[in-house]
Each structure stands twice: as C-alpha cells, then as structure tokens.
Amino acid sequence: MKKHLKSSIAFILLTLFVLSCASAAAPSKGTSSGNENTEFDPFMKKTLESGPTTEVPWENDPAFLAAKEKYDCPILMAAYKTVLHDPLPGEEFNVHLAAKYICGCVVEPNKVFSQNNTAGPYTKERGYQSGPTYKGTEVSETVGGGVCKIASTLFNTAILSNLKIVERHTHSMPVPYVPYGQDATVYNGAKDFKFMNNTSSPVLIWAKGIDNILYIGFYGKTKPPKVEWKHEVISVTKAPVYTKKNPNLPPNTEKITHEGMDGAVINSWIILTYPDGKTVKKAMGKSYYSPLPYIKEISG
C-alpha cells in the first residue's frame, strides 16, 4: 500500500513538473473568457462541503467555556469549517497539530495575529510530519505540508468576522476545500497569514480538527455585519488529463487517481450588510490559478 502510494505521488510530481515546463515554454491552451465562463462555478457548489457554520464541537468544552469567560468574549463572531477530501498521509495530522497551536490564542485590540509565529515554524522539532505542498505549478512534500488549510480557514473566519487582513497569499493552483478566491497559503519565512483585531475588545480563537474536518471560530464582543462573497470569473484554463498505464487494472478499464481542477483568474469582493440596511462593497483583489491536472490510470 505504501509503495503504491509513493509511486502515485512520484508520478503526480513528475507529471506536474512536465506540465510546468511546458507551460513556461509555450502559450497556454484551452483558455476561455467572456460567455464561455458562465458554466464555471468558483463556489464549487456541486462538490464543496466547506463553509460558514454555527455548530462547533467545543460548545460544552470546559476549557473553552473558561477561556470565554476569562477574556470576556461572549459572542461568536464567525466560525468556518473546512472539509478535506481524502487527505494525504501527514496532511490531516499537521492540520490537527496546527489547530492545537492556535486554539486559545487571544488577539488584543489593534494587535496582529500571525499564523507562522503561532503555529510555526513547521518543523519536525515542533511535531510536524511530511505533507503535500504547492510549489509554483508543482505538488511536492515538505515537513508541515497541509497547514495551508489552517490559513484558508483562518482567512474565511476573519473575513466573516469583519477583521482587517494584514497579509494573505493565494495558492498557485486552486484547492478543493474552499472556493476560488477564498484560499490562503503560508510558508516558513516567506509567506504568512496575518489579520488585525480592529475591534475594541479581545478576540478569542478556538480551533479543532476532527478526522477530515477543521473548525475555527472567533469570539469577541462585536457582532459583525452580514458578509457575502462575490466572484467574477475573468478567464478559465481547462485542466489537462495525463494518463499512466497500470498493468493491474482489468482490461479496457480506467480510473482517475488524482482529481484535477481548472485554472482561473478570479476577481473577488465582499458585500457587508449592516443591521440598519447599509451595504458596503469591499474589493478583495484578483486571484490567479494555474490548472491542476487530472491523473488517469488505464489498463495495459
């Protein structure tokens, strides 16, 4: 099982390397724009299980209730759950470990929270294992791989809480666990996710990983306005399909061993709706994603 998994990962890495070289050498193909983008759903409604939630697994946890009272954070500002589909070895472990590191952190007014300074460095000495990481248009394995799920979930929770984003970086390729334009990535010493507590009272962070689901919630004294994401699809680049022969498959059969995702350029903004009916539009910028290839095994 382990040998087969390592072989599959190695093939994926080699394929993505070839793709990245080809992309650098020639103009991209399969790019659409205008009316052709109407069928592309950046929210991934058909497959995405992640999203805002009001149901969290720590509601009756004595440690949470004590922290909530100690720091006087009675209001759930926002919570977000991220569902990981078939996480690779080490990925789920790293997400759970990073969640433990950030759980219980308190961000005072006008102070900045840094994921790298709190959950990092992502090293073996801190307990992290090897997991998947995007590097440009390649997928590789590094110690701490997978902690971008923490960054993406923190980002969405911070946006729903109407907190100020100080630093955020998108992935080079789309991810299957949050919508296009709503992801965030981190990397030791290079990329961080940071937000500022721009409210007048402390913000308590609580987080927990249960199997393949990550929950993060922010608590404080300020009830944020309603937040609604909007995404404009500027262009789409279809994900290519690469095939690999597998002699162990029955004759005339094939199967997808690695799900691909289309590349895209996405322009995003949010609409804030306050209790008095006032609405405010806030630009969130453009996100640029290279396509993530499908890997298909065929008999032979």
Q: In the predicted model, is pLDDT for residue 9 greater than 50?
A: no
- The tens digit of pLDDT for each residue in 102-119 reads 999 999 999 999 999 999
**Which residue from 133, 168, 152 is spatially nearest to 82, judged by alpha carbons?**
152
- The tens digit of pLDDT for each residue in 176-205 reads 999 999 999 999 889 999 999 999 999 999
**Which residue from 114, 179, 117 is spatially nearest to 152, judged by alpha carbons?**
179
Mean pLDDT of 72-99: 93
Mean pLDDT for the chain? 87
253-257 — which CB contacts under 8 Å span 24+ positions?
Answer: 253/298, 253/299, 254/296, 254/297, 254/298, 254/299, 255/296, 255/297, 256/294, 256/295, 256/296, 256/297, 257/8, 257/295, 257/296, 257/297
**Which residue from 216, 225, 73 is spatially nearest to 157, judged by alpha carbons?**
216
Joined together, the tokens standing for residue 299 give 């008999």
Quote the CA–CA distance of 248 and 257 in Å, as a whole number: 14
Q: In the predicted model, is pLDDT for residue 129 greater than 70?
A: yes
Ranges 9-13, 35-39, 175-179, 252-256: which has the least confidence: 9-13
Q: In the predicted model, is pLDDT for residue 69 greater than 70?
A: yes
Quote the CA–CA distance of 227 and 244 in Å, as a whole number: 44
Mean pLDDT of 47-69: 97
Number of H helices, E strands in the chain: 5, 17
What percent of the chain is modeled with pLDDT above 70? Answer: 85
Quote the CA–CA distance of 222 and 208 in Å, as a whole number: 23
Q: Which residue has the higher pLDDT, 75 or 2?
A: 75
DSSP lists the bridge partners of residue 56 as none
